Structure 1
Amino acid sequence: MTTGKTARRSQDDRRRQLSTAAAALFTERGYPHVAVSDVAARAGVSTPTVYRHFADKQALLYAATQSGVDAFETITDAALAENDDPARALAAAATTLSLSDPGALTLWRWSGYHLTEEQDRDIVRRTRTVLRRWASAIAAHRPDLTERESMYLAGAVLSVAGSLIGRVSKTDRPTVEATVRRLIRRLFALRPSEAAALPEPLDPGIGAATRRDEILDAAATLFAERGYPGTGVDDIGAAVGITGPSVYKHFPSKDAILVAIGQRSALRLEAGALAAASLTADPSQLLDLLVDSYVQTMTTSPDLLVALTSGGALDGNPAAAELLASQRRYVTRWIELLTRADPDTTPQTAALTVHAALAIVNDAVRMPRRTPRPEFAARMAYLMKGLLHG
């Protein structure tokens, strides 16, 4: 005979199963490209079964993201309980996160684009609560830091951990563990208030603004605020002061606008890289100049953030392959420079380190903040350089 408690346990188990399947699919394909039927197929159940537990796809996303934050909290609790040394506890928590399942634990990075405002506030509040605990652990290890400096370092440590999630399949577990611990030690030695102001951008620019650029500017801002699926061509036209149909005089589709935003961000990064290469051939100095260029590009325009977070919407579009190849070539340039700057660093470790450094600013820009602080970009560059050079 089935008791009420047994039935509830069975329902909870099913919800967890569906949430786990949804998290994996959202991470693999991107939220806009996953249907409820896909989740059902991954979980090995019928589509009506999914709807018995979740009202819609957004409810699945919220549940999956909550599960990720639950794991974040549980891992932190366990690490702090098992280690008397706060720094060791934080390193243990970050390492555990890095070796975790790449599903729900990474959803908090971008899920806000598709959650309701109330749901997003809940996820941000819970994530920041755990981050404050990490910051307290850092402050216990470094009492000379201010509370804000500790939070900067806590966010950077979380980005390092998150950037390596799932990479254990591409490398070996001991390498990931050793890399996480080494990078965290580097972060623990930094003091964000010592960040020097960023130099003037090296990017020489991409020409005078046109109506086409105005459309791209408006679209990038809207895509960053509302997400790509939540923005229509009429919205973009209204933001520029023209009708939706007038937008089509410049771009044949919304996808074409997203492609152009990606191309523009790639052009800015490449221009910055070429300008940096004209100033020095030293790999360490050149890497630092690329950090400055990347941070300036990421923090002064939404283009790059949109290209990174909305690229999945272009699956099947022939232009998407070249954009992805361009991004990979750019990251490969960083990896090669790091191995030249430090010959003792293997390409494998250099790749992990570069992805961790890029994640610091990528994650920080995605996290909502009331008013960007003037020192924000400089501190992001400082943390990235500290991680790359140690």
Structure 2
Amino acid sequence: MTEQTTPRRIRPADRKSQLAALASALFAAHGYAHVSVADIARAAGVTAPSVYRHFADKQALLVAAVLTGGDRLQACTDRVLSRPECALDDLADELAELGVDYPQAVSMWRANSAFLTEDQNTEILLRTREIVERWGAVIRANRPQLGDRAAVRVAWAVLSVAGSLTVHHTRLSNTRAKAALHELISRTLVLDTDTAPPFTAPTLPPSGERTRRDEILDAASELFADRGYTAVGIDDIGAAVGISGPSVYNHFPSKLSILVSITRRSATTLEAGVIAAYARTSRPGPLLRGLVDSYVAAITTSPDLVVGFRSARILPAQTDTSEHLDSQRRYVRRWIDLLRDVHPGLPSEEAAVAVHSALSIVNDAVGMRRGTARDEFTAEMAYLMKGVLGV
């Protein structure tokens, strides 16, 4: 992490909890892999040895940050469910406020699960699932016609929407951000995945003859999505395609070049979806729905997109990688512009919040592999995204 953070000296009595909170903020801003214990100590106005008196290592700080977020999410849930005859609007109010005031509470685990142990992930998953199921019970109480499973799937989508502010940097006042999140959460809460229409993947041009390079990219993409880029070595990639690690260098000069190629391939896939959508229609509503369908099809058939969107903090600021980040921004900008065409008068900032909320629903579900093997998964994802966008 190169950006300097203004030190905030903390009282000894508060040190452990505040170190966890500062670590959470730094991990969210810069990515776990790019924050050191020294960075956290500097932000706290203490020395690195002082941090180690409370935490064994950086991973222990991550666990504390994730659990602190879980505590906040639990407290928010307890607070809203304590209200007599809790209404859906009450749930939207509380989650919108939490999503703006402490967005890491609903996103820290999803963004950093690759850096946790299997046991830690299981513990946090069970805790999160319990919270989401409690939201599902509130949804069912207010919408008795909704099935139990549909209510829980809607609740998971609500979690993604509430935590979506951490994936972009749209400048918006807290008041406007809370209002925007409240509106999007409210839209999500009235959806019913059991009514999702059948999903038909857009037809894209054939990609051509496959090569050994493609096999290496496929294997690396799976490994990066599963373990995270930093935890995967060249030998791992070679073994996945039946060759030695050094043999991979006959096709790519470095592990970074493999990641760059994956991100370029993901950008090419998205652009193919855009071209196919524009070939079918020029009307904003159908166009945006077509982009949703092509995105869902792409992210559910290859891990490239998950790897690509996670790579923003991994790829260094150099010419051959900045083009990928620019491509991502242009792609999202197209969604934002189309959404504003569909909803005249919608400010650009609110449109950006809506688009990132919709993308977060499927990104989170695929990234956490939550129900992705079900036949109806793609249809439900496209339905939820279109519902949040109002298209």
Could you tell me how far 1:353 is from its partner in structure 2?
Answer: 1.0
Equivalent pair of 1:99/1:165 in contact (CA under 8 Å)? no
**Structure 2 CA distance for aligned equivalents of residues 276 and 31 of structure 1:** 36
2:271 counterpart letter in structure 1:
E
- Superposition map of 1:23-62 within 5 A: 23-62=24-63
**Structure 1 CA distance for aligned equivalents of residues 30 and 304 of structure 2:** 21
Change in CA separation of 1:156 and 1:266 when aligned onto 2, cut-off 3 Å: same
**Structure 2 CA distance for aligned equivalents of residues 177 and 32 of structure 1:** 30
Determine whether 1:323 maps to 2:355: no
**Structure 1 CA distance for aligned equivalents of residues 266 and 192 of structure 2:** 30
Change in CA separation of 1:316 and 1:168 when aligned onto 2, cut-off 3 Å: closer
**Structure 1 CA distance for aligned equivalents of residues 147 and 80 of structure 2:** 23
- Local SS of the residue matching 1:99: helix
Which sits farther off after the overlay, 131-140 or 338-347? 338-347
Which sits farther off after the overlay, 108-117 or 159-168? 159-168
Equivalent pair of 2:103/2:165 in contact (CA under 8 Å)? no
Equivalent pair of 2:187/2:387 in contact (CA under 8 Å)? yes
RMSD: 2.0
- Superposition map of 1:103-252 within 5 A: 103-164=104-165, 170-252=171-253
- Local SS of the residue matching 2:197: coil
1:178 counterpart letter in structure 2:
A
Matched with 1:293 is: 294
Could you tell me how far 1:196 is from its partner in structure 2?
Answer: 1.7
**Structure 1 CA distance for aligned equivalents of residues 85 and 100 of structure 2:** 22
Structure 1 portions without partners, runs of 5+: 1-9
| Number of positions where the alignment pairs a residue of Structure 1 with one of Structure 2 | 382
1:352 counterpart letter in structure 2:
V
Which sits farther off after the overlay, 261-270 or 164-173? 164-173
Change in CA separation of 1:258 and 1:24 when aligned onto 2, cut-off 3 Å: same
1:239 counterpart letter in structure 2:
A
- What is the CA deviation profile of residues 245-272 of structure 1, one whole-angstrom value per residue up to 9, with x for unaligned ones? 1101111111111111111011000001
**Structure 1 CA distance for aligned equivalents of residues 390 and 317 of structure 2:** 38
Could you tell me how far 1:359 is from its partner in structure 2?
Answer: 0.9
- Superposition map of 1:306-385 within 5 A: 306-369=307-370, 372-385=373-386
**Structure 2 CA distance for aligned equivalents of residues 166 and 291 of structure 1:** 18
Which sits farther off after the overlay, 172-181 or 88-97? 172-181
Equivalent pair of 2:167/2:356 in contact (CA under 8 Å)? no
**Structure 1 CA distance for aligned equivalents of residues 60 and 85 of structure 2:** 39
**Structure 2 CA distance for aligned equivalents of residues 169 and 314 of structure 1:** 21
TM-score by length of 1: 0.93
Which sits farther off after the overlay, 173-182 or 88-97? 173-182
- What is the CA deviation profile of residues 315-341 of structure 1, one whole-angstrom value per residue up to 9, with x for unaligned ones? 344333221111110000001111111
Equivalent pair of 2:89/2:186 in contact (CA under 8 Å)? no
Could you tell me how far 1:370 is from its partner in structure 2?
Answer: 6.8
Could you tell me how far 1:368 is from its partner in structure 2?
Answer: 3.7
Equivalent pair of 1:100/1:166 in contact (CA under 8 Å)? no
1:79 counterpart letter in structure 2:
V
Change in CA separation of 1:108 and 1:35 when aligned onto 2, cut-off 3 Å: same
Equivalent pair of 2:225/2:306 in contact (CA under 8 Å)? yes
**Structure 1 CA distance for aligned equivalents of residues 82 and 286 of structure 2:** 42
**Structure 2 CA distance for aligned equivalents of residues 167 and 371 of structure 1:** 25
- Local SS of the residue matching 2:187: helix
Could you tell me how far 1:74 is from its partner in structure 2?
Answer: 0.7
Equivalent pair of 2:158/2:185 in contact (CA under 8 Å)? yes
Equivalent pair of 1:335/1:350 in contact (CA under 8 Å)? yes
2:158 counterpart letter in structure 1:
V
Could you tell me how far 1:110 is from its partner in structure 2?
Answer: 2.1
- What is the CA deviation profile of residues 290-329 of structure 1, one whole-angstrom value per residue up to 9, with x for unaligned ones? 0000011111111100111233221344333221111110
- What is the CA deviation profile of residues 100-149 of structure 1, one whole-angstrom value per residue up to 9, with x for unaligned ones? 23445421112210011111111111111110111111111111111110
2:142 counterpart letter in structure 1:
H
1:95 counterpart letter in structure 2:
A
Between the aligned residues of both structures, percent identity stands at: 50
Matched with 2:8 is: none
**Structure 2 CA distance for aligned equivalents of residues 168 and 209 of structure 1:** 38
Which sits farther off after the overlay, 124-133 or 360-369? 360-369
**Structure 1 CA distance for aligned equivalents of residues 258 and 285 of structure 2:** 36
Change in CA separation of 1:178 and 1:122 when aligned onto 2, cut-off 3 Å: same
**Structure 1 CA distance for aligned equivalents of residues 167 and 241 of structure 2:** 41
Could you tell me how far 1:166 is from its partner in structure 2?
Answer: 8.9
- Local SS of the residue matching 1:229: helix
Could you tell me how far 1:12 is from its partner in structure 2?
Answer: 5.9
- What is the CA deviation profile of residues 62-100 of structure 1, one whole-angstrom value per residue up to 9, with x for unaligned ones? 010110111111111112224533312211221122222
Equivalent pair of 2:106/2:162 in contact (CA under 8 Å)? no
Could you tell me how far 1:168 is from its partner in structure 2?
Answer: 9.3
Change in CA separation of 1:325 and 1:373 when aligned onto 2, cut-off 3 Å: same
Could you tell me how far 1:19 is from its partner in structure 2?
Answer: 0.9
1:99 counterpart letter in structure 2:
V
